[in-house]
Structure 1
Amino acid sequence: MVVLNMEIISKEMIRPSSPTPHHRITNLKLSFLDQIAPPVYVPLIFFYQNDEPDLKNTNHAQKSQLVKQSLSKILTEFHPVAGRIQENSLVDCNDAGAEFIEARVHTRLTQIIKEPKMEELKQFLPVETLSYQTEKAILSVKITFFDCGGIAVGVCLSHKIADGTSLVAFMNAWAATCRDQVIGSEPSFDMAAHFPPMDLSGASGFTQLKQLAAAGGGGDVKNPTRVEAVSAFIWRHFIDAAKAKAKLLLGDDINKLKTSSFVAVHAGDCDIVNKLRDAIREIDEGYVNKVQNGEYLRLLSKSVDLVKGDDVEICNFSSWCRFPMYEADFGWGKPVWVCTTTLPFKNLVILMSTPCGGGIEAWVNVPRDELNMLQTHYDMLGSVTSMDFVNASN
């Protein structure tokens, strides 16, 4: 493992500047969707360049203090984030606080982001993404100062109460508070009202599904989106790799699939894009009603029969594109790069916008040889459009 020359300066717990008011819920029930979420952290790292080289070594303490004070203030608005989860059923909004780590790394920011290495990136996170347990801090933060004056803010937020969208919303509100700006509307924590908690004590099929997911860590398509096209391209190569091992079976027409690119989807991958679009269109009011009525859990349990055999592999895609990650300005300017790290799911792909907004970074959790094949096939297309594949496996 590559170990950076990183020095931990301090560790402390940041509590809300004001206690949770009595008119707010002090015991927040987890929604059904939160209950079944895997017990991991959602990780993001925000990298900021130093625009004042003459001050690079003089204002670390000032910046750190400002970040801590603004974190304390924003926790008053996002009060469950400062609480603790109890028995996978509720958040005790006890104002226990968020973990805060300050560190210094003796290297330059450009050395880290020019050729990112997963082993190095993970050291900018405050905790291991797999280490979340109930009664631990829901939010952990690590601010790291580079020798060049650059700054990294690594954040881990429990997936039990947040997803990528929620984490970005929190970061933007925190950054605005750090700039002494008032955030917009007050955040809402009413998921349990829409998706009531359920008794999952007998849901052994779902337990199998989570274990499997975490193992090892037809017609013309008009105007495919970049997410559809990239997903189809990567999915296609998952299929190729799995077919070579005689393991994958994903439908009657799977042998007809052809190569696609990010900027032009070819005939075979139109079939994949159509399947994606059809699936997304099914997420309507009727689908939400099924989730609310418990149908979703039944379908998850039924899907175990499809994936528990050795002849089927699961491919997971999550698009974080267009999330306003690059708006998180703490007063040092907008980040020059925002990234995630390893998540413990086999064949997981996270799609993120590049800093310019026009390209896509694909964080792919597959064996390195399969990732190299994917990058080679994309490069052979001769596309001028930016798409980077990052090895997100351990």
Structure 2
Amino acid sequence: MVEIKSEIVSRQSIRPSHPTPSHLKTFKLPLLDQISPNIHGNMTFFYPSDNTSHSTSDHDFFDKSKLLQGSISKTLSLFYPLAGRLHDAATVDCNDEGAFFVEAKVNIQLSHFLNQPDLNLMDHFLPATDATTMELSNGAMFLVRFTSFGCGVVAISLSLTHKLFDVSSLLTLLQTWSSVCRGSSDPITPVLIGEKFLAPRDELSAISATIKIDAEKFVQRRFVFSASKIAELKAEVNKEFHDMLQSHPSRVEVVLALLWKCAVATKKQKTGTFGPTVMFQAVNLRKRLSPTLPETAVGNFIWTFMVSAYEERDLELHEAVIQMRKCLNEFNDTKANVLRGEGAAQAIMEAIKERGEFFRNNKEMTVYKCSSWCKFPLYDPDFGWGKPLWLVSVNKLVSNTIALADTRSGDGIEVIMTLDEEEMTLFQQNEQLLKYATPNPSSYA
């Protein structure tokens, strides 16, 4: 068990390098952002030493910190709503109050932490878990904590508002920010569509989606699926899948189906009976709309489709994977395009209403939610001292969530699973899971 002591060295606001023009001072969010929860998501990147600096480790850290702060200032001018403050669920006051930047130090070596990462220790790296930082940041939508391990090794943690950013938007921000930090004079420019995509609804102006904070104690655990184990999983379901759909299952589909099956089996162990269950999967709408949106469009251009299982046989691996693909195909063919153009706002409101009715009529259903960041090149951001050794996003809010991301090599899948504490104890012992997944291996592997 690694013990960490962390110390905050400084805290400060960072304003945009150029003031936001007066005609852009009010930014109206599109409907999909309006209904997004007013919470912060987080992601932490751990960087090795670049070994190019001959200065002391303190000087090296503060030199890097100055570079980061200067590049944040320039980046905020391009992402100008991010430097503002939320006025209501559909409006950002672009007042240039800026982002908030924290410098910190920890007393351990990165190698000790990454050898077997303890997700419970991530609070030492996150800006939003420090009460003083949150008070001083005065509603900042973008917070950064820059942490020194000594000897040039650092961590960069971002805390970003979910009102403006999904993972694709986060990637655009990282690509722009890191290229500005490296001195690029031609960084990627974000596309800030705002209400031009889909105007907010007046009757919802004061309402964001709510996140039901789980009362029970939940825990997070990390599992890694290697490329060879994913290939084994695919081989197990490929024949039935191909016979039914004339295509092949994806990495995400087979891994998610196994996790879902094992989570529900765990629930049955705990309660003694099988209960119906539903899996919500988030999908990126940008390429699914007509006309498409650019990948650099900033906002929550995501929607979820659901896959349900009413009997245990529905969760046999091949059945679950086939059902996932069928539901995705149906979403792509019939629902995605309804979310753009004439009637889109009405369709979204009806979908929200239908989902509410579904849950009222299916109170006994166990709900799981999955976000996949696979195929997003999140290991690419290089601020001038190389690419990250490891990245992670921890969920501090709700249980029964599954987050999937590529391993650094790009061919495996890393899972952060959140479950009720008692269920997680059983889940970690599931033999079918352990046949394919390695619990919390070294991040150097």
* Equivalent-residue separation in structure 2 for 1:135 and 1:57 (angstroms): 29
The reply to whether residue 48 of structure 1 matches residue 44 of structure 2 is no
Per-residue CA deviation, residues 222-266 of structure 1 (Å, 9 max, x unaligned), is 311111112211222233234453473245763213554xxxxx4
154-163 or 274-283, which deviates more: 274-283
* Structure 1 position 201, deviation (Å): 4.8
- Asked whether the 8 Å contact 1:351–1:362 carries over to 2, the reply is yes
Q: Larger RCO: Structure 1 or Structure 2 (Cα < 8 Å, ≥ 6 residues apart)?
A: 2
SS of the residue 1:299 aligns to? helix
- Asked whether the 8 Å contact 2:275–2:310 carries over to 1, the reply is no
The reply to whether residue 17 of structure 1 matches residue 44 of structure 2 is no
* Equivalent-residue separation in structure 2 for 1:78 and 1:61 (angstroms): 25
Distance 1:2 1:111, change over 3 A: closer
The reply to whether residue 335 of structure 1 matches residue 338 of structure 2 is no
Kindly report which structure 2 residues correspond to 1:272-291, keeping only aligned pairs within 5 A, or say none. Answer: 272-289=324-341
* Structure 1 position 124, deviation (Å): 0.6
- Asked whether the 8 Å contact 1:17–1:76 carries over to 2, the reply is yes
* Structure 1 position 290, deviation (Å): 7.8
Q: Which residue of 2 aligns with 1:186?
A: 189
* Structure 1 position 107, deviation (Å): 0.6
Per-residue CA deviation, residues 276-329 of structure 1 (Å, 9 max, x unaligned), is 443454443234358723222222223223324641121111111111211110
The reply to whether residue 76 of structure 1 matches residue 77 of structure 2 is yes
Distance 1:88 1:267, change over 3 A: closer
* Equivalent-residue separation in structure 1 for 2:343 and 2:411 (angstroms): 35
* Equivalent-residue separation in structure 2 for 1:298 and 1:202 (angstroms): 17
Distance 1:175 1:14, change over 3 A: same
* Equivalent-residue separation in structure 1 for 2:45 and 2:309 (angstroms): 43
The reply to whether residue 89 of structure 1 matches residue 114 of structure 2 is no
* Structure 1 position 50, deviation (Å): 0.9
Kindly report which structure 2 residues correspond to 1:1-394, keeping only aligned pairs within 5 A, or say none. Answer: 4-22=4-22, 25-52=24-51, 55=55, 56-128=57-129, 136-201=139-204, 210-212=210-212, 220=244, 222-244=247-269, 245=271, 246=273, 248-250=275-277, 254-260=311-317, 266-267=318-319, 269-289=321-341, 292-308=344-360, 310-377=363-430, 382-383=435-436
* Equivalent-residue separation in structure 2 for 1:97 and 1:167 (angstroms): 17
* Equivalent-residue separation in structure 2 for 1:249 and 1:129 (angstroms): 39
* Equivalent-residue separation in structure 2 for 1:380 and 1:40 (angstroms): 32
Q: Considering only aligned residues, what root-mean-square deviation do their CA atoms show, in Å?
A: 3.3
Q: Match of 2:201, as an amino acid?
A: M
Q: Match of 1:278, as an amino acid?
A: E
Distance 1:201 1:71, change over 3 A: closer
Distance 1:276 1:105, change over 3 A: same
Distance 1:43 1:202, change over 3 A: closer
152-161 or 180-189, which deviates more: 180-189
Q: Match of 1:151, as an amino acid?
A: V
* Equivalent-residue separation in structure 1 for 2:248 and 2:275 (angstroms): 29
* Equivalent-residue separation in structure 2 for 1:76 and 1:306 (angstroms): 43
* Equivalent-residue separation in structure 2 for 1:375 and 1:121 (angstroms): 21
Per-residue CA deviation, residues 123-174 of structure 1 (Å, 9 max, x unaligned), is 2111139998996001000100003431000001100111111112101211
* Equivalent-residue separation in structure 2 for 1:322 and 1:147 (angstroms): 32
* Structure 1 position 38, deviation (Å): 1.2
SS of the residue 1:314 aligns to? strand
Query: How many residue pairs are counted as aligned between the two chains?
Result: 379
- Asked whether the 8 Å contact 1:98–1:137 carries over to 2, the reply is yes
* Structure 1 position 76, deviation (Å): 1.1
Consecutive unaligned residues of structure 1, counting only runs of 5 or more, are: 261-265
Q: Match of 2:34, as an amino acid?
A: Q
- Asked whether the 8 Å contact 2:258–2:433 carries over to 1, the reply is no
Q: Which residue of 2 aligns with 1:263?
A: none
Distance 1:104 1:340, change over 3 A: same
SS of the residue 2:365 aligns to? coil
- Asked whether the 8 Å contact 1:290–1:296 carries over to 2, the reply is no
* Equivalent-residue separation in structure 1 for 2:259 and 2:425 (angstroms): 12
* Structure 1 position 357, deviation (Å): 0.7
270-279 or 229-238, which deviates more: 270-279
**What's the TM-score once normalised by structure 2's chain length?**
0.76
* Equivalent-residue separation in structure 2 for 1:89 and 1:65 (angstroms): 34
177-186 or 77-86, which deviates more: 177-186
Q: Match of 1:176, as an amino acid?
A: S
* Equivalent-residue separation in structure 2 for 1:258 and 1:61 (angstroms): 52
Distance 1:164 1:284, change over 3 A: same
